[in-house]
Amino acid sequence: MKLVLATRNEGKVRELAHMLQGMGVELSSLADYPEIPEIVEDGDTFLANARKKAHAVCEITGLPALADDSGLVVEALGGAPGIHSARYAGTQGDYSANNEKLLSEMANVPDGERQAAFVCAMVLAIPGGEEYDVEGRCDGEIARDYRGAEGFGFDPLFHVPAEGKTMAELPMERKNAISHRGRALKNMKKILEGLLSG
């Protein structure tokens, strides 16, 4: 089965490829399709954005497409950055500016009130209009400073109490086991296995 990962984010492609190893799925990503224009994520939920990307890429390539939209939801910030996580500080994908903005917004939030969650909605679009969607979530809290060099995005500031570490301090195997994207993909893998055996 050929499957297009509807993203140009190298960190995301690495994670997804790692988790889909051994499934007999031939992966490509938007890096292999430079002619596909940027898909505007103008939905008001993670699911709406993932759905839009998956269907657009499926339609253009004629292949099954897997898209996710994910982000950080911080209780003390009323759910922000939410669907705007990748461009929280204004520029798409500027991780260090996003992290600096988050630290500054959270500066006066006391310990015990720094709860946050990574949320991921994932959609598989199949030519012909079929669609499958799943969600994953990982709960944690916002650290007061950067820790760890793995991962990407808000990982160095997202502390997982159960692990005693930030996402960026976890080896990829462990991160993939507990992360929002890992949990969503675990559910999606069951769907893919069903489609591959069916």
Residue numbers annotated as active site: 69
The structure tokens listed for 140 are 């944690």
10 Å Cβ neighbour count for 46?
25
Rounded CA separation 136/178 (Å): 9
The structure tokens listed for 147 are 């820790």
| Cα 10 to chain centroid, rounded | 12
On whether the CB atoms of residues 58 and 82 are closer than 8 A, the answer is: no
Rounded CA separation 104/106 (Å): 5
Report DSSP letters for 44-72, one per residue: SSHHHHHHHHHHHHHHHHSS-EEEEEEEE
On whether the CB atoms of residues 196 and 1 are closer than 8 A, the answer is: yes
Alpha helices in the chain (DSSP H): 10-19, 46-61, 95-105, 172-178, 180-197
